[in-house]
Amino acid sequence: MKNEKPELLLAGSMMQYVEDQLEDIFTVHRLAKAAKGEALLAEIAPRVRAIATAGGAPVDAALMQKLPKLEIVSNFGVGYDSVDAKWAGAHGIVVTNTPDVLTEEVADTTIGLLIATVRQLPQAERYLRAGKWLEKPFPLTAATLRDRTIGIIGMGRIGKAIAKRLEAFGLAVVYHSRRPTSGVPWRHYPDLIAMARDVDVLIVIVPGGPATKNLVNRDVLEALGPNGILINIARGSVVDETALIEALRSKKILSAGLDVYVEEPRVPKELIDMDHIVLLPHVGSASIHTRRAMGQLVVDNLKAWVEGKGPLTPVPETPWPPKGR
Ligand code: 8YV
């Protein structure tokens, strides 16, 4: 039939207004809502041309190889570690993500989490609500942001936006990444341990996935030292969570502000039981404004693709037009 809509597999769920737009373009199959996911998949597999995915629903080789007509995977989020983009690239499937539209929001959240952690703002708020201020003032915080040197792990778009903000605060900024980023004024450390030794705060803002798994390990935390504070706004997988719990317990580092965890939404009880650290439920980009913009980019990538215009924001593993074309 000529005017039939292309078929799309929705892995995870999106904001209603995004799903409505997807329905305008595609026949949408909802994997998460299907009582029998495998049966649904078997039935639609020969026809699915696109996947839209959110919330870390895995789009791995096992799933993609069941879909012989698959052309594009549109990922909600700048991080696409739940999509096997390398496999997709090797099999002619395009992967897109949602860069830029969340950069400033995530950088803002990072600064909020940093200050909240250093100055114990959530603890102070809990103190007031518990009526304790009537008895005596909230204790002075051991830590201050003043005179700290901040080491950023990762100097992509969001890393730069964080560094710019920190500079405006009058703080010294350095960074670690595999290769130096051109055009930035901050000192580059090729060696993460050396940087951890020289700074009092580490901010993690690198992509997740196998290349960065447990990058922040026991040695890095020990090098950060007893006055050190770890902020993770990237992916839980980048930090060795067991080593972090141990470092916090034994006071090898002072504190941590975390937005991400290894097994979200499960947060280890050991972390929840520590009152001096700050824990957020993965809210880096989580405003209606920014999530709408991200959702729109998911739709716009798919729309451009079905209209034959190519993807708007392909990931580096699946360049467009493909190399050699
Ligand atoms: C989203 C994120 O919360 O963009 C990312 O990589 O981690 C967040 O902005 C996440 O993608 C939601 O699925």
Instruction: Grade residue 139 by pLDDT with cuts at 50, 70 and 90.
Output: very high
Q: Nearest-5° angle of CA 228, CA 231, CA 233?
A: 165
- Is the distance from the beta carbon of residue 78 to the nearest atom of ligand 1 less than 6 Å? yes
Output the pLDDT for position 209.
96
Among 29, 148, 176, 235, the one annotated catalytic: 235
Instruction: Kindly tell me if the per-residue pLDDT of 1 is higher than 60.
Output: no
Could you read off the pLDDT of 202-219 as tens digits, one per residue?
Answer: 999 999 999 999 999 999
Other C-beta atoms lying within 10 Å of the C-beta of residue 249: 11
Mutate to test the pocket of ligand 1, among 78, 95, 106, 232 (most ligand atoms within 8 A of CB): 78
What is the spatial distance between Cα 183 and Cα 175, in angstroms, rounded to a whole number? 13
pLDDT of 323: 78
Report whether pLDDT(311) > 60: yes
pLDDT digit string, tens, across residues 5-19: 999 999 999 999 999
Residue 324, pLDDT above cutoff 80: no
The token duo for 325 is 């074309």
Residue 141's H or E segment, with its range, is none
Beta carbon of 207 within 6 Å of any ligand 1 atom:
no
State the pLDDT at residue 325.
61
Q: What CATH number labels 7-101+289-306?
A: 3.40.50.720
Q: Give the domain ranges of the chain.
A: 7-101+289-306, 103-279
CB 36 within 8 A of CB 57: no
Q: Cβ(257) to ligand 1 under 6 A?
A: no
Question: Is the per-residue pLDDT at 27 higher than 90?
Answer: yes
- Tens digits of per-residue pLDDT, 222-278? 999 999 999 999 999 999 999 999 999 999 999 999 999 999 999 999 999 999 999
- Annotated catalytic residue within 104, 264, 270, 317: 264
Percent of the chain past pLDDT 70, that is, above it, reads 98
CATH of domain 103-279: 3.40.50.720
Closest-lying ligand 1 atom to the alpha carbon of residue 54: 13
Asked if the model's pLDDT at residue 180 lies above 70, the reply is yes
Name the average pLDDT for the chain: 96
Number of the ligand 1 atom closest to the C-alpha atom of 285: 9
The pLDDT, as a whole number, for residue 24 is 97
Question: 165: which 2 tokens?
Answer: 């903000």
Give 68-112 pLDDT, tens digit per residue.
Answer: 999 999 999 999 999 999 999 999 999 999 999 999 999 999 999
The Cα–Cα gap between 26 and 74 comes to: 13
Angle in degrees, 0-180, between the axes of helices 157-168 and 103-118, rounded to the nearest 10: 50
**In whole angstroms, what is the distance from residue 256 CA to residue 259 CA?**
10
Distance 221 CA to ligand 1 centre (A): 25
In 3D, which of 94, 99, 68, 69 has the Cα closest to residue 83? 94
Same CATH topology for 7-101+289-306 and 103-279?
yes
Q: Which of 264, 294, 298, 313 to mutate for ligand 1's pocket (most ligand atoms within 8 Å of CB)?
A: 294
Tally of CA atoms within 13 A in the half-sphere of 113 that contains its CB: 32
**Catalytic residue status for 187:** no
- Taking each helix axis from N to C terminus, what angle separates 103-118 and 121-129, rounded to the nearest 10 degrees? 60
Q: How would you write 149-166 as a 3-class SS string? A: EEEEECCCHHHHHHHHHH
Q: How confident is the model at residue 35 (pLDDT cuts 50, 70, 90)?
A: confident
- pLDDT given for residue 232 in this prediction: 99
Q: For 281-303, how does the pLDDT look when each residue is reduced to its tens digit (9 = 90+)? A: 999 999 999 999 999 999 999 99
Q: Which residue carries 């809210």 as its tokens? A: 283
Q: Is 264 among the catalytic positions?
A: yes
Which residues are CB-contacts of 34 (< 8 A; sequence separation ≥ 6)? 40
Banded model confidence at residue 3, pLDDT cuts 50, 70, 90? low
Residue 52's DSSP bridge partners are: 10, 74
Which residue puts its alpha carbon closest to atom 6 of ligand 1? 79
- 282 catalytically annotated: yes
Q: What share of the chain is helix, strand, coil (3-state, %, to 5)?
A: 35, 15, 45
What is the C-alpha to C-alpha distance for residues 81 and 262, in angstroms, rounded to an integer? 13
